[in-house]
A = this chain, B = another copy of it.
């Protein structure tokens, strides 16, 4: 068969990441073969190695991109100068939901495929995750100090709140009974209550 005409490297590179994200999320990193990805992208397996050193780098790049996007998105937000802990927490919750919900596959992979990273790659992703957690922890600590929040342990509360919010991705469906706006308000109430917020 003749070689596929009209292919462009940039397009293939992008399709590789998109396809790998979907397939890894659906079937798992270990269960997806390079051949399968290539077939879906529309090239031969060998051609994939023009865009990634190996399968491991492919996984790492997906997770690394996701965490960078997340932290960049948070940093890039416009933030008022003086803002109360309670408002900070509200902004965090809304941001988290709005960022994570439309990225179901990426979020899924970022949690499920950590164990398939090499130790060095795992360390990088884990650090990014800790950076994100620190954002919430700082907010809770500030509120705890000035008396607006009341939790037994800010560290555990941080984990609990993030788990609560991220868990949303496991049940949310676009055609579900609740709109995104409603879900946002429901979770906001849950988080503020859990933090013992007294406005």
Most B C-beta atoms less than 10 A away, residue of A161, A185, A194: A194
A170 touches B178 (CB 8 A): no
B163 touches A170 (CB 8 A): yes
Indicate if A77 sits at the interface (CB-CB under 8 A). Answer: no
Query: Which of A23-31, A46-54, A58-66, A82-90 sits within the interface?
Result: A23-31
A160 touches B190 (CB 8 A): yes
Indicate if A186 sits at the interface (CB-CB under 8 A). Answer: yes
A189 touches B152 (CB 8 A): yes
Q: Mark out the residues of chain A between 76 and 124 whose CB falls within 8 Å of any chain B CB in the assembled complex.
A: 112, 115-116
Range, interface on chain A = 35 or more
Indicate if A1 sits at the interface (CB-CB under 8 A). Answer: no
A183 touches which of B28, B156, B163, B171 (Cβ 8 Å): B156
A115 touches B160 (CB 8 A): no
Q: Contacts A164-B163, A194-B193 known; A152 to B186 CB distance under 8 Å? A: yes
Q: Mark out the residues of chain A between 148 and 199 whose CB falls within 8 Å of any chain B CB in the assembled complex.
A: 151-153, 156-157, 159-164, 166-168, 170-171, 178, 183, 185-187, 189-191, 193-196
Give every chain B residue within 8 A of A193 (Cβ-Cβ): 193-196
Give every chain B residue within 8 A of A157 (Cβ-Cβ): 186, 190
B194 touches A152 (CB 8 A): no
A159 touches B167 (CB 8 A): yes
**How far is A28 from B31 in the complex, measured between Cα atoms in Å?**
10
Nearest CB of B to A181, in Å: 12
A30 touches which of B31, B156, B194 (Cβ 8 Å): B31
| A residues lining the B interface (CB < 8 Å) | 26-31, 112, 115-116, 151-153, 156-157, 159-164, 166-168, 170-171, 178, 183, 185-187, 189-191, 193-196
